[in-house]
Amino acid sequence: MRELPTGTVTFLFTDIEGSTKLLNELGDAYGDILGDHRRKLRDAFDANNGVEVDTQGDAFFVAFSRTSDAAKAALAGQQALATSPLRVRMGLHTGEPLIRDGGYVGMDVHRAARVMAAGHGGQIVVSERSGSLLDELALEDLGLHRLKDLNEPQRLYQLGPGTFPALRTLDATNLPVTATPILGRDRELGDVVSLLADGTRLVTITGPGGTGKTRLALETAAEFVGRTADGVFWVPLAAVSDAELVLPEIAHALGARDDLAGFLRDRDVLLLLDNLEHLLAAAATLSGLLAGSERLKLLVTSRSPLRVSGEYEYSLEPLAPGDSATLFCERARSIGRDFAPDETVDDICRRLDGLPLAIELAAARTKLLGLDTLRDRLEHTLPLLTGGGRDAPERQRTLRATIEWSYQLLDDDASELFARLAVFAGSFSLAAAEEICTASLDALSTLVDVSLLKAIGEDRFLLLETIHEYARELLDTRVDADEVHRRHAAYFAALAEDAYAGRMDAEAESAVRLELDHDDLRAALDWFAATDPEDELRLVGALGWFWLSHSHLEEGTRRLAHALGVSHPTSYASARR
């Protein structure tokens, strides 16, 4: 591979318009046609001194030292593909990117990709910077356009012949322009775009506060600008307090003065209804709106699903570890701190459960704190993670406010259960929640629905650590807190005794269950150590075989030494040891 150009570089991005549809239409022949497309484009790039940076599927990313060479390569490539059934869109942009780890980084890369994404098959779109360097070539001025992830409108040009529809930019919509590119959500973005493109008419993105539901939804909606004949419209609902006002808010966004259902009946429209969780009483009305308009699609963000027919709930998970670290470093870089992902960054992101909002708030603290100090202070995350952007909604300026937004949606039964569930140190079973916290299935379901509780595995649940901290604060203020802790310790002591009694008959099965609940067994030991040394020693004795067989011998030895040191030397529990 030739060395990547440095200094002022012109990027050429390409991809095939409607490749999925073509694959379905052409079947096995698509592979040969795709291979021919790649050969012709590579010939055009090589003939004009292009350096291939990356190739993914049907897309090329090529760099040129001279803008004129990039333009000639694009024109030659389109001419070579003139008779192909594949329609390739191309975009050119010139900038001064940085090179890190053998590849380009910086906003110029994103800008070039967005310029290409604005075009149509067979079209070459050129940024203003590249256009200013192509005086010898005829360019058609396409005007100012807003592009995803870019703050200011960009003047774009067309290179080469052809008449095409309006560019796929953000000008046929009221979608807000996001200040930074979305990071770590490529798979999720592809999933939601595919759902809507393949005929699903109601997609609800759910997840805990701070997972980036709105960010993903805005990015998804932007993909449909230019593809949706009558527009893509954003309807922010966080500040709306009455479900009866949802339809008027939609009508206002659309400019529909009177009959909203009639206005939408024959229109091809995508509506992004953002933050609907506190207005779920409007769900049936929205379902009726869909029934009256065959071409209407709804993309909803909510901490709870709507639970109406035809809904596809897309549960947004926290970021993967690698993506979490990348987001942290990018946001820290934006305030002047140049970090690379390392073990400390990974530990910080792990303590923040991979929640994008928490990661961004923590990255902002690196303006004052070093990484090691930040990690140490994250033992208590809620007081530290404040000071979000002034342009963010109030509920997203601190992590605590984000969690409180969900908590305030709960009825009394669910809010009381949420606080009691903080007694668990790790994941817990349905049976444990029912016995210790008097949990009902309805209340548990409510907590799962508003994304304060995560269902994992079979009949097990988990509070994310940042949410767990908030719940612990609530539990500490309750008059029944000690009783909940007492029942928790008694439950897990009984579990350990049952496993001890049956260790000869079902050792493997008992050990697996104890491993699942090991964090809560430790919490029970801590409670007994503070309240009843004899019960502490009994539990230590019941767990001895488990610690020995599952390589927790050092922990077991330490626990036993402490329990023996504070218990009565002539007790039954001491004798059993």
Residue ranges per structural domain of the chain: 9-167, 186-315, 321-386, 489-577
Please name the CATH architecture into which domain 186-315 falls: 3-Layer(aba) Sandwich (3.40)
Please, which residues bridge with residue 63 across strands?
11, 51
Q: pLDDT (tens digit, 9 = 90+) per residue, 92-105?
A: 999 999 888 888 98
For residue 202, is pLDDT > 60? yes
Structure confidence at residue 409 (pLDDT): 81
Is the backbone of residue 31 left (phi > 0), alpha (psi -120 to 50) or beta? alpha
The least confident of 273-282, 459-468, 512-521, 559-568 is 559-568
Name the CA dihedral angle for 527, 529, 531, 537, rounded to a multiple of 10 degrees: 110
* CB count in 10 Å sphere of residue 66: 16
H/E stretch holding 272: strand 269-274
What letter does residue 429 receive in the DSSP assignment? E
Q: Could you read off the pLDDT of 135-149 as tens digits, one per residue?
A: 878 899 988 787 876
pLDDT of residue 102: 81
- What's the average model confidence in pLDDT over 20-42? 86
Whole-angstrom distance, CA of residue 274 vs CA of residue 235? 6
How far apart are the C-alpha atoms of 451 and 456, rounded to whole Å?
13
pLDDT at 575: 41
Closest by Cα among 246, 350, 353, 370 to 300: 246
**pLDDT, the chain, mean:** 87
Domain 9-167 top-level CATH class: alpha beta
DSSP letter at 365 equals G
**Residue 358 contacts residue 385 (beta carbons within 8 Å):** yes
Binning pLDDT at 50, 70 and 90, where does residue 569 land? low
Q: How confident is the model at residue 574 (pLDDT cuts 50, 70, 90)?
A: very low
* Mean pLDDT value across residues 27-52: 92
Cβ–Cβ contacts within 10 Å for residue 458, how many?
Answer: 7
User: How far apart (Å, rounded) are the C-alpha atoms in residues 201 and 218?
Assistant: 17
Q: Give residue 146's pLDDT.
A: 78
